[in-house]
Chains A and B, each alone.
Chain A
Amino acid sequence: MIEFRAVTKRFEDGTIAVDELDLTVEAGTITVFVGPSGCGKTTSLRMVNRMIDPTSGTILVDGKDVLTVDPPTLRRGIGYVIQQAGLFPHRTVLDNVATVPLLSGWDRRKARTRAAELLEIVGLDPAFGKRYPAQLSGGQQQRVGVARALAADPPVLLMDEPFSAVDPVVREGLQDELLRLQAELDKTIVFVTHDIDEALKLGERVAVFQTGGHLAQYAKPAELLSAPANDFVASFVGRDRGYRTLTFLHADVPVHPVDTAKLGQRVAVTDWTLVVDDQDRPKGWLSGVDGEIEVSDQDLIAGGSLYDGSTLRGALDAALSSPSALGVTVDDNGAVVGVVRADDVIKALAKARAAGEVPK
């Protein structure tokens, strides 16, 4: 558990980066600090491992005032993932990951074995261990950064915009990976971002900071969307917040049957037909064909996003992004089970609202 008690940071030039911050990060959860540039997220984070010391107030990690611990010792017990990874360019990937265990006095062999394990845990081929950071892509470097922070198995992890330097697709993969890791490792994680979508996806609780170092609201994601504390939070959470609220609703949407065809099969297409592979996974759509044809790759119209039966947002997006306006619904193996319609999603939303399931 991390507690901020009336923490203020004023820099020498008079800038107040953090103003009277009171906040408790529960053990074993991901808490996200989000807010516009310069609102004091990094400063708040770095006061936890004493990369910055507060001007006034107290920070407790597991009940212990951090100011009573010698900084290097404190930092070895807290994983820290820096923006742009901050890997050591002169060390191999494996040695980068082994850094903290070696500093903590492990012998070299044990530290390297542990480092190799961690590369696997963060989803990197152990062969990457021999490379140098300059020989990795941005996304791979970020993974190494996470592995390095986890190496000595610290209970607390500080992550400062760890995924900001990669493209949206890679970022989404890294986010999913973090959630998977957290389900296994159960760390106390403070995650900084200025991307509200990332905050809502990762945070069990989200702290929205306002310029000037004020904490504007500290709440669960669904509550942030449905009951923003003030105009600042409302505008920061954004114009799409009605749509985003759907992320937190798990209502039943009727799944309709759909005509399917396999590649190479001879079919006469009248309406929208979904083409699937041998395992019934969707390949694309077929439409407006004259007479009977043999289905080939060239005839396919690319499909939209897939709905896995989880949230209303996924269902609506699948329907809206599909060329046929039919959202393809798949099971855990990725096999097609049917389609959903946008109007059904809206109906499901109305039903949920009537049942009082939509937070006001």
Chain B
Amino acid sequence: MGGWLFDPAHWSGPTGIPVRLLEHLGYTLMTLLIAAVIAIPLGAFVGHTGKGGFVVVGLSNALRALPTTAVLILVVLWAGLGDFPVYVALVLLAIPPIMAGTYAGIRAVDPVTVDAARGVGMRESGVLLKVEIPNALPLIYGGFRGAALQVVATATIAAYTGAGGLGRLVFDGLALQEFGQMLAGAVLVALLAVLVDLGFAGLQRLTVSPGLRPVGTGGKT
């Protein structure tokens, strides 16, 4: 069955595996970008002010309860086929973990540290941007990487609306009864998930202050 995956014919052309991989990666990154732009400011604002925590929790739970496939079909019925419904469904999927991670991360910053930030004369924007967010980054990344894994796996449904991505291998394989192709799709999705997570882990290492690593493992001096 693995033969399908390693057949050179499937590795070229406009519907070849590299194209599908790139499409899938494109949906994933674009989704994460849009979700982050919405969820991080929201989580950060609520975390910083301490007001409206119920909004974050309520909204997260409501969004988590939405079946992604149902959202996709509803948006297709309303807006037609294409990439748009895919993004709506995936962004709604990615928002809760990112927002919850940001909110939790900011709430978890030591109040003494935040008090010190005000005490040295930072304005509220400075307290948030220069102290709370940098200290919350490990938890923000936690939420973000969780969202990334879910999005990579779920972006498979893009094929359902006639769009691209690795989902095409799964759905086309199903239609053609080509189990080799389905399996190839599934394996490639899993592989991509691992690669994407590794990529974000690297980014996390580069952007989180060494001062926040657990004592003993961190910060060369």
CB within 8 Å of B: which residues of A? 49, 51, 71-76, 80, 82-84, 86-92, 99-100, 103-104, 130-135, 148
Contacts and interface: CB of A to CB of B under 8 A. Distances in A.
Interface in B120-142: 120-123, 126, 131, 134-135
Contacts of B119: 49, 51, 75, 80, 82, 86
Contacts, number: 78
A75 B118 contact: yes
Nearest to B124: A72
A132 B215 CA distance: 10
B12 interface: no
A87 B117 CA distance: 9
A103 B119 CA distance: 12
A82 B112 contact: yes
Nearest to A130: B221
B212 A90 contact: yes
Interface in B100-120: 110, 112-113, 115-120
18 contacts: A51-B115, A75-B120, A76-B121, A80-B120, A86-B116, A88-B116, A89-B211, A90-B134, A90-B209, A90-B211, A90-B212, A103-B120, A103-B121, A103-B122, A103-B126, A134-B215, A134-B219, A135-B221
Interface of B: 110, 112-113, 115-123, 126, 131, 134-135, 209-212, 215, 218-219, 221
Given A80-B119, A80-B120, 11 more contacts: A49-B119, A51-B118, A71-B118, A73-B121, A74-B121, A80-B116, A86-B112, A89-B135, A89-B212, A104-B121, A134-B211
Nearest to A79: B120
Contacts of A87: 113, 116
A73 B123 CA distance: 9
Contact of A132 (B112, B115, B131, B209): B209
Nearest to A99: B120
Nearest to B134: A90
Nearest to B112: A86
Given A89-B113, A90-B211, A100 B221 contact: no
Nearest to A103: B121
Nearest to B211: A132
A92 to B, nearest CB: 7
A87 B112 CA distance: 9
Contact of B115 (A82, A92, A100): A82
Nearest to A131: B221
Contacts of B211: 89-92, 132-134
B152 to A, nearest CB: 30
Contacts of A104: 121
Given A131-B219, A131-B221, A134-B215, A91 B121 contact: no
Closest A-B pairs by Cβ, 3 of them = A132-B211, A86-B116, A76-B121
Contacts of B218: 132, 134
B120 A100 contact: yes
Nearest to A74: B121
Contacts of B131: 88, 90
Most chain A beta carbons < 10 A, residue from B126, B134, B211: B211
A131 B218 CA distance: 11
A135 B219 contact: yes
A72 B123 contact: yes
A91 B116 CA distance: 13
Given A51-B115, A88-B113, A135 B215 contact: yes
Nearest to B133: A90
A166 to B, nearest CB: 16
Contacts of B117: 88
